[in-house]
A and B are shown apart, each in its own frame.
Chain A
Amino acid sequence: MTAAAMDINAAALRRDERREKLALFSLCAPASLLVLVIIVAPVGWLFWLSLFNDAGVMSLDNYTRMFESKSYTRIFITTFQVSFLTTALCVLLGYPLAYFLAQLPRRWAALGMLAVLLPFWTSLLVRTYAWLVVLQRKGLVNQWGMELGLWEAPLRLAHNLNGTLIGMAHIMLPFLVLPLYGAMKAIDFDYMKAAANLGANPVSAFRHVFLPLSLPGLFAGIIIVFVLCLGFFVTPAVLGGGKVIMVSMKIETLVDLFFNFGTASALGVVLLGLTLLVLFAAHKLLQLDRVLGGGHGGNP
């Protein structure tokens, strides 16, 4: 075939392709705009504010203070510690739960899912105070435990890290279970049959096949929970007894009591930076794009 013959319509076809890509891009324009307006702009504004000290002069005071004052470092450590432990607790509770639900017949699974989602129907504050009633010194758990002679002095379940973790795990659990359940439901049962057929007992079939296939859902859940925890406010404020101080609580005090947007913004910026850092590390460590892409990504 001659070169000329091969060029027939080539330019027009390339134009069509470009036009299609442009059309596709314009589809996501509203979303991009939204992101720009509700995320990029406020974060930029936050960053801008954080560069001014109390006297309104441009400086890095807000950041240097964070490194000089021990309490800021401790607050960050507490924030990450609480988030990490809550996430771990959610995984421990959520994985078997999601697995169980995924095995149930459809109708029962729907009922179980409803139970998991039930917490979403009541206000966060109500649930948190309900935990207080259950966990405090003369709360239900301690009353029953002591009546049954399980322990003698009341356990310290509320107004500390324990209470915070219990309350937060309860609130975060659905965020872990939902994506995980979805991922598990999507696992073709033939994979498990194939594994058994190839000689895998139920335990190794789970370990070598089901677990790895459920990981994308698990990681999605872990990331959602962890990131949500980092910015959590109500539950640690109510159940932490004033001992569990997270970044969000500190920001609230700074803004509400001292009208100190500079330091508050700096805290927000550092938290955002650390969160991105954690996500990046997780991404590097676990090759999340591959995992989250459900194995349909490009070459490894």
Chain B
Amino acid sequence: MRNNATVIHSTVAAAAFALTFAAGASAQSVTVASWGGSYQAAQSKALFMPVAAAMGITINEETYKGIGQVRTRVAANAVPWDIISTGSGGGARACVEEILIPLDYNLIDVSNFVADTHLPCCVGSDVFATVMAWNTDTYGDNGPQSWADFWDVQKFPGTRSIRGKMHGMLEPALMADGVAPRDVYRVLDSEAGIKRALDKIRELKPHVAVWWSSGAQHAQLMKDGEVDMTTGWNGRFDVAKADGAKVAYTYNQGLQDYDCFGIPKGAPNAGLAMQVIAEMSKAEFQVNLPKYITYGPTNAEVYQTGQVDESVARQLPSHPSNARKLLPVSQEWYAKWEKIGSEMYQDMITE
């Protein structure tokens, strides 16, 4: 109720403002596009509404389907959004394609950010991890503790789900094949290395019941008990668990990744958007995020504020105790190998 009231207040304020200074009205609002679902709901409550209130502006929210849509709008020179929330991979590609404009890091302070969580055009908004999750009805608390376990269908009989795209799948395969986390991207830096990872996935293929394509899907798979084990994004599993799903996961050998905010080329209110992003990157707002979703803040300062409950903080992927177990995703590797790797991955699935 209180949050709704805030929205109404700020809307009323903006409307009143618009009536008096019709021409300047649009400068006082920005439009944010994100992916919807429990993720956007959390963003809205933790970041958009408090920042709008603090700045005295209106933040309109929309949902969109991803970088492809932004690309089309930019090409058509009709960009309806000022800020988009995207994955780090999409952000990196969009930057290369010049769909997103470079961010002003004099304005946006990233000095306390977790390592590897910002790009020239996209600044990290939250940290998440690609982890292994299991059905607690099937395995109790003794789920897999490493990718080798995930691959071991003798020790852990049952069905698996893994991603239908290469992203975040080749690294676990190599770890399952005995490559140490720190060597993963070095080994993957050749077609032979990619092939080694794919061969490992081929081993698991007969047990893969579903190749998932979205976070909503892998959460639903666990909720429905459709598979016994899956890879996926940690926050989604926490939400599913809160919703009654029999699911648990571990950060062991997980992949650290992040979502980020960027400004599309041709955004109507780019200047204000830059200020909004700068605000949202501050610890005082990021500290809200863990209340709504178990994605960690990118601004490590949050952990020093003492405002996040220790028990909550320990669940977050960017908490030092978890970050240690995670392998940060290498955007350089993806920039270099994404296309080739994707084709090879598709070959493997369709075999």
Chain A residues within 8 Å of B, Cβ to Cβ: 69-71, 74-75, 78, 136-139, 156, 158-159, 237, 241-243, 245, 250, 253, 255-259
Whether B210 is near chain A, meaning CB under 8 Å from some CB there, is: yes
Partner of A159, one of B65, B66, B209, B225: B209
| A138 pairs with B164, CB closer than 8 A | no
Partner of B164, one of A137, A242, A259: A242
Bound-state Cα–Cα, A243 to B350, Å? 7
Whether B97 is near chain A, meaning CB under 8 Å from some CB there, is: yes
| A241 pairs with B211, CB closer than 8 A | yes
Further pairs besides A136-B226, A156-B209, A242-B211: 12, Cβ < 8 Å? A74-B350, A137-B159, A137-B224, A138-B226, A241-B210, A242-B210, A250-B346, A253-B342, A255-B68, A256-B67, A257-B342, A259-B71
| A138 pairs with B209, CB closer than 8 A | no
List residues 193-233 of chain B with CB under 8 A from any CB of chain A: 209-213, 224-227
Count the B residues whose beta carbon is within 8 Å of the partner chain — how many?
A: 27
| B213 pairs with A242, CB closer than 8 A | yes
Whether B343 is near chain A, meaning CB under 8 Å from some CB there, is: yes
Bound-state Cα–Cα, A70 to B351, Å? 8
| B68 pairs with A256, CB closer than 8 A | yes
Whether B291 is near chain A, meaning CB under 8 Å from some CB there, is: no
| A71 pairs with B346, CB closer than 8 A | yes
List residues 149-196 of chain B with CB under 8 A from any CB of chain A: 159, 164-165
CB contacts (< 8 Å) of B224 on chain A: these are 136-139
| A243 pairs with B68, CB closer than 8 A | no
CB contacts (< 8 Å) of A75 on chain B: these are 350
* Contacts A/B (CB < 8 Å), 21 sampled: A69-B343, A69-B347, A70-B347, A70-B350, A71-B349, A78-B350, A137-B159, A137-B209, A137-B225, A137-B226, A137-B227, A138-B224, A138-B226, A156-B209, A158-B226, A242-B212, A242-B349, A243-B349, A253-B342, A256-B66, A256-B67
CB contacts (< 8 Å) of A156 on chain B: these are 209
Whether B9 is near chain A, meaning CB under 8 Å from some CB there, is: no
